[in-house]
Each structure stands twice: as C-alpha cells, then as structure tokens.
Amino acid sequence: MALRCAPVWTRLVAAVFTFSALWGFALSITRYSVPEEMEAGSFVANLATDLGLDVRSLETRNAKLDVIHSKNYLDINKDTGELLIREKIDRESICMTKTTSCFLKMDVILAKPVRIFNIELEIMDINDNAPVFRRKTMHLDISEATPPGERFSLTNAVDADVGANSIKTYYLSESKYFNIDIQTGSDGSKYVDLVLSGHLDREEHAVHNLILTAVDGGVPPRSGTASIIINVLDINDNAPSFSQPVFAVNVSENSAIGTVVMTLNATDLDEGSNAQLVYSYTLYTSEKTQELFSLDPNSGEIKVKGVIDYEESQSFEMYIQAQDRGTNPLLGHCKVMVFITDLNDNYPEVTIKSLKRAVAEDTSVGTLIAVVSISDRDSGGNGEVDLTLNQQEPLPFLLNKSSEGYFELLVSKPLDREIKSKYDITLIVSDRGSPPLFENETIALEILDINDNAPRFSQSFYTIHVMENNPPGALLTSLSAFDPDLNENQYLVYFIMEKEIVNTSMSMLFSINPENGALYALKTFDYERERDFLFHIEARDSGVPPLSSNVTVHIIILDQNDNTPLIVSPWRAHGSVVEEVIPRSTEKGHLVAKVVAIDADSEQNSRVTYQLLQINDLTLFSLDQYNGEIRTTRMFSHRDPRQQRLVVIAKDNGEPALSATVTIKISTVEHAMTFLETTELPLEYEVFTNLNLYLVIGLGAVSCLLLITILVIVVLKCQKPKPKAIKMPPANRNSMISQRSSTIADSTLISSDAYWYSLFLAETRKGKVVVRQPIIPKGAGYFVSSIPRSIGPSETTDSRASTLEQEPRRELR
C-alpha cells in the first residue's frame, strides 16, 4: 500500500501545479458512474461527444488522461474518442475508507491550446467481498459456576463492501447453553455478543464448539464464519467416588512384604487440582491393620508391609478416604475387606500330660502311660490332625482316642525289661494339608526291673576232667550263671548243695567261690581209688524273694601213668628166677611160656607190650609183643646149650613209660613128657602165700561192697522214677573206660586186690598151680593183655549205663 501511494502523491503535487497554471483554462466537471470489477476494454463514455471535441483533434492536440491520486485505470481511444477501462477497478482498493461514494478523479488535457477537462468517475460498489472474521477461531474460558445471562464479547466480522453489501446479520450454531445478541453501532456496523443461556457443567460438557456466521446484504448474500471454542472452567463441585462402597480381596497368609493387595482407583469428575486425589486411612482403621498394610497416598496401591498370620486374624477391615486437592477439598470413602487365606504353615502340636517316665515290667496291660493332646493352628484340612505311633519296630503300646484331640497311651502287651529295658516311643502327628506337615514327640519310657528271672547257667550239665594227683586247692573250672535282672536281683551267690559220699561231705572235697563261681579241689585225687564225683551247684540271686537254679557237675578223674606194670604170670617170688622145663624134641612153634602183666592204670597207660631184653640165641625163641607168648622158632640141635636164659620186659604205653622184667630159665630134657595146655610149674611154695591171702581178703571186701551198692541202688530206684540212661561213648579197642554208677557209692573204686585175686584162680593139682583166664569184674575197666591163646581174643567188659537223667555232657578240659 505504501508503494502504491508514493506515485499517487507525486502526481497529486504535479497536478496541483498544473492546475494552478492552467486554472484559467479549466471548464466544468464531467461525471461518470461505472461498477467496479468491469473487464478491461469495457466502454465507459464517449469523451469526444460529451466534451464537444473533434475526434481528430484528440490526436493532433495530443489528448492525454491524467488521473489524480490514483492509478490510471482508464484510457482514451483517440481514434474513437471513447473512454475505456484499462484494467479492473477494485473499489475497496481505491477507497480505503468505508464510505458510500467512491470517486476516481482525472483530467483530460489537450494541447494547442491547452485545455483541461475535469472528469469524476464514480466507482459503484458490487457485493464482491464476503464478511471476514479477523480471528477464525475464538477461545473463551467460562467457569461452570457462571450464571445464565452473562455476556461475552466476540470479535466482529468485517466486510469491505458498503451499503447493502456490508454485514447485515449474524447466526450462531445451535446450542442449549448459548445464544447471540446483535447490536448496531452508530456507523451502522453490526456487533455481536455471546450470551450464556443455561447452567454449564464441565463434568457433563467440558468444551462447547460453536460456529458464528456473518451474512452481508448483497445479492446473492455472502457469508463468513468463525469457530468459537468455549472451555468450561472447572470448579471443585464433585467429590471423589469409588466404583463400589465395599471391596473384598483375598490375601494368602505369609505373603511376601511388598505384595500388592489391590489398587484403589477413585474418580473425581473435576479436573486439575480438583481431581488430584490423596488416599489415606480413616480413623476407623485399626493400628494393627495399618501396621500390616501400607497405602500409597498418590496411587492408592495397598501393599503388604508386615507378617500376615491367619491364626492371629482371619480378616482385616480398611476404611479409606480419597480427598481431592481443591481449595475446598471434597472426600470420598470406601471400605476394603481383606480376607486371609489359610496356608498350611503351622506344624501340628503335641502336648503330653500325666506322663509316667518309668513303669515296672510287671505293669498290667491297659495301664495308662500318658495323655496326649494334639492340635493345629491352621484351619480346614490344614488343621485336621492325625496321631500315630512310629511302628518301625513293634511296640507294646497303643493309642486310644478318648475325646476330640485327646488320646491315651496305654500298655498293650506284657512288658519284659530283660527283652527291652527302655522304649523311645515316638508319636507322629500330621495334618491333612497339601503337602502335609509332620511333627513328632519322643517319650523315653524306662522299664523298672523286678526279680522275675532265676539265674541261668550256660549248661545244665558240666563235665569236668581232673588229672589225678592234682595239688590241693587247684582251680578246676569257673561256673558262671547269668541273671538278666538288675542290681540286687542280679547279684548271685554260688554254693555246693551238700551231699555225702561214704560219710564224706562234698564241701570237704570241693570248694566254690560264692562270688564268681570258681570251683576248687580241696584234696588230691587218685584215679585208682576215685574215678568220678556227681553233685549239684546252686546259684541264688539277692532279690526279694530270691530266685535260684542249680546245675549238675560231674567231676571225672583222669588217669596218670603212675603205676608200674605187675607181672603176674609166670608167678615167681620177688627177685627169683622162673624156671621152665621143655623136651629138646620140642617142635617149632611150641609154647614155652606165657608172660602176663597187669597195670592198675587205665586206657593207654594200662596197655602192656612185651619185649625180649636178653636172650642167648635169638634164633631159638620168639616173643609175641602183645600176648607175651614165648614160642620156639626152630627145633633144638645138639649144639644148643641145655639151659637158656631169657629176660622179658613188660612196658606200658604211658608217658613216660613204666616197665617190669622177669627172668625165665628154660631147661631142656631128653625124655618125652606130656604137657597140658596149661603150664604146670613145680610147686616149690605153699599155695596160700601172703599174696594169695591178700587176694582172698580183697575179694571178700569187694563182694560185700558190691552187695551194699546193689541194695542202695534198689532202694533209690524204688523212691525215684527211673531216669533215662546216658549214652556213653564206645570203649576203646585197647582200653576200658571206667564208668560212673548212679549212686555216690558207685564212685568209690573197687580195690585192685580183687583183680589180682580174680586173675589167679589156683588149683592144687599134684603140687602144681594151674593159671587160667582171669575173671575181670564187670565195670572194673582194666585191660588185660596177657590172655592164653586158647581162650581167644581179649574182650572188654560192657560199661554200665548211668541211671542219672542228664543231657549229653560236654567235657570241660
């Protein structure tokens, strides 16, 4: 606009000077009217005709058009004299001010002579401009508390056109809250105000979008629009509210600290600080609840901050308020119910009452040991408990349910301290949770001892072998009994049960230590006089009343080689030589003599063998080492001496061996003599010598003793039932074992003199002594090795079986 005004003012100044110079030539003013916006070349008027000029003179007189204060919109056609539109004319650009008339002034200047014609061209307005709002969008902030009728000024629209083409009216889009009020100014301008016609509610309608339309009066009318955006300003007129008044939530007990229980989300229809909420507990919320749960004041998040135990509390109530940050804050309330879900986190509990720590082993079945109560702090299946006994090993106890949660521990079987002196009774209680929890309680029950067990020996029968010639006081063995009881019930005393043998008490033969059962011999025993002893030893405890048991002890005297073999055949006086007479014509193998020796010892010690100690001619005689027979090995020759001297040694089989010798003088005769099978010796002595007298006396004593023994046996058998016989081991081929009898009297051995006499049965036949096979008393146990060939092989007599009823004996060595 400034660039356009510069040349206008220049022309205006030039025109003023020209007008002053040529004022005298000026004529009257010619007016024309044309509408704006006519196309270029449009005809305005015929200047030559209107001004009275010759068309030809326009060229010659150099006619020109001078526009004052404006751009040259017109042009003169010098050929036709017409005034034409040079370019479109915009009235609004020419006439800046909003006036009803708008003129474009110009001068037509002719030269030779100079002549000026004043022309005014009125530009007539057409409705070529629509109303325009200077602000396309108008923003208004109106509080929702504004009362109806309040007015708000709006920016008016402008229209470059004038007159009837200018703004005529305004229209507002439909709204139940707003309308417009149009006013006309002094210059005819239309003004519009926005009027509030209803109560605003931001929560219902926070923003109102309206369209304001300005319409001019042209034909056709033109219009312009502007947008009105009304923001309803909030006031704190809405209290915070929760979606529901009561919330219920489940939380497991023992939830970790920081676990989110729930998040409260209260709403406030207001905005800004009026809608900013702060959450907090009210005074109705207990301190315990506030200690266990935290509440975030900004987010409303409830978290666990303590240990939650179902058994302490099954639910919690929280009273929570939400408060906005308005100037006058409003509150909203809700209630949160937190229900705790039980977990199987409590072990079952066992309580033992009326407990007996110790009971006697004779306690009767059904005796109460303890009262057991069980419980579990959990609920439901987690709190249901079962009680059982640990039955890894059978226990003589049972559980009897007396009432709900109570059990009686009772004795179910007889107790025996000797089998088990202490019981660890384990009670196992388990709940029915998943997984189940277990708890156990162990009761240590001691079984008290009573004297209900008698002492017991490891054997019921003891066989003890004692070598004869033992020193007095020698330890024979140690008899040990066992009593499974305790203390004084276990303390044992040993003693020998008194019994006499041929007026001799057992306590005079043997002694036993009362504390440890060590058995001693009080005298030296001789196998040849005493073979065995049978008596009883009793072990008695110190209980009240005392209990006892006894054991049978069999003492067997073992033989030692302490007797030298005795040569009884051929008999001769002490230190004399035995003489034998045989014919020189004796055949080979002829029995010359038989040496018989006996040994008072037994078994191997009594086994006698014979050897030739001295002989004149080894080729003439032979000696059987087992039966003592001396025979010829060849016939006599004339070179053989008439007398032969033999020394025979009889040796036993003991260690060390003992022996005896006999010297036999054999004389040969030329004439034949008849010899009996028996050997006849010249009777050079009396038949009843001292030796024979001793034998007769011994035989008589033995016979009397045997008779007394038989009578005693008969009496004992009548008084007692006959016991079973004890099987004895078979006799050795070369020995006889001394057998014990059933009575004490049988333990006394028969005198050896009886054997001497029974071995020699002498007959007087023409002054000769006939030696026959010896008769060995039954049970004597002697082995006789010198038995004549004609009698046959030697035999041992049968041993008598014992009449004592005993178990098989194990020999103590």
For 241-341, give the CATH class.
mainly beta
* Local confidence band at 295 (pLDDT 50, 70, 90 cut-offs): very high
Instruction: Give the Cα separation of 67 and 106 in Å (integer).
Output: 4
* Local confidence band at 564 (pLDDT 50, 70, 90 cut-offs): confident
DSSP 537-586: EEEEE-SSS--EEEEEEEEEEEP-S-S--EEEES---TT--EEEEEETTP
- Tell whether the model's pLDDT for residue 257 goes beyond 60: yes
* Local confidence band at 758 (pLDDT 50, 70, 90 cut-offs): very low
pLDDT in tens, 640-668: 888 888 899 999 888 888 888 898 888 88
Lowest mean pLDDT among 142-146, 223-227, 685-689: 685-689
Domain residues of the chain, as ranges? 30-120, 132-233, 241-341, 349-446, 456-558, 566-669
- Tell whether the model's pLDDT for residue 102 goes beyond 80: yes
Topology, domain 30-120:
Immunoglobulin-like (2.60.40)
Asked if residue 664 lies in contact with residue 629, where contact means CB atoms within 8 angstroms, the answer is: no
pLDDT in tens, 342-379: 888 888 989 999 899 999 999 999 999 999 999 988 88
- Tell whether the model's pLDDT for residue 146 goes beyond 60: yes
Instruction: Give the Cα separation of 34 and 85 in Å (integer).
Output: 10
pLDDT > 90 fraction of the chain, expressed in percent and rounded? 35
Find the mean pLDDT for residues 739-758.
33
pLDDT in tens, 327-336: 889 999 999 9
Topology, domain 349-446:
Immunoglobulin-like (2.60.40)
pLDDT number for residue 694: 72
Lowest mean pLDDT among 479-483, 504-508, 681-685: 681-685
H helices present in 661-689, as ranges? none
- Tell whether the model's pLDDT for residue 23 goes beyond 90: no
Q: Which is the CATH superfamily of the domain at 456-558?
A: Cadherins (2.60.40.60)
Q: Which CATH number fits domain 132-233: 3.30.230.70, 3.40.1710.10, 3.40.190.10, 2.60.40.60?
A: 2.60.40.60
Topology, domain 566-669:
Immunoglobulin-like (2.60.40)
Instruction: Give the Cα separation of 723 and 803 in Å (integer).
Output: 6
Q: Encoding tokens for residue 551?
A: 């054991």
Instruction: Give the Cα separation of 623 and 612 in Å (integer).
Output: 7
Find the mean pLDDT for residues 469-497.
91
Instruction: Give the Cα separation of 397 and 363 in Å (integer).
Output: 12
Find the mean pLDDT for residues 789-807.
32
pLDDT in tens, 489-504: 989 999 998 877 667 7
Most confidently predicted of 36-45, 70-79, 199-208, 713-722: 199-208
**Residues 560-580: b if buried by 16+ CB within 10 A, e if exposed:** bbebbbbbbbbbbeeeeebbb
pLDDT in tens, 759-774: 333 332 333 333 333 3
Q: Encoding tokens for residue 618?
A: 């080894």
Helix 752-759 vs helix 690-719: crossing angle, to nearest 10: 120
Lowest mean pLDDT among 141-145, 227-231, 478-482, 808-812: 808-812
Cis omega (within 30 of 0) on the bond before 220? Answer: yes
pLDDT number for residue 405: 87
Find the mean pLDDT for residues 498-517.
84
Instruction: Give the Cα separation of 801 and 18 in Å (integer).
Output: 196
Fold match flag (241-341 vs 566-669) = yes
DSSP label at residue 404: T
Find the mean pLDDT for residues 745-753.
34
Asked if residue 557 lies in contact with residue 466, where contact means CB atoms within 8 angstroms, the answer is: yes
pLDDT number for residue 689: 53
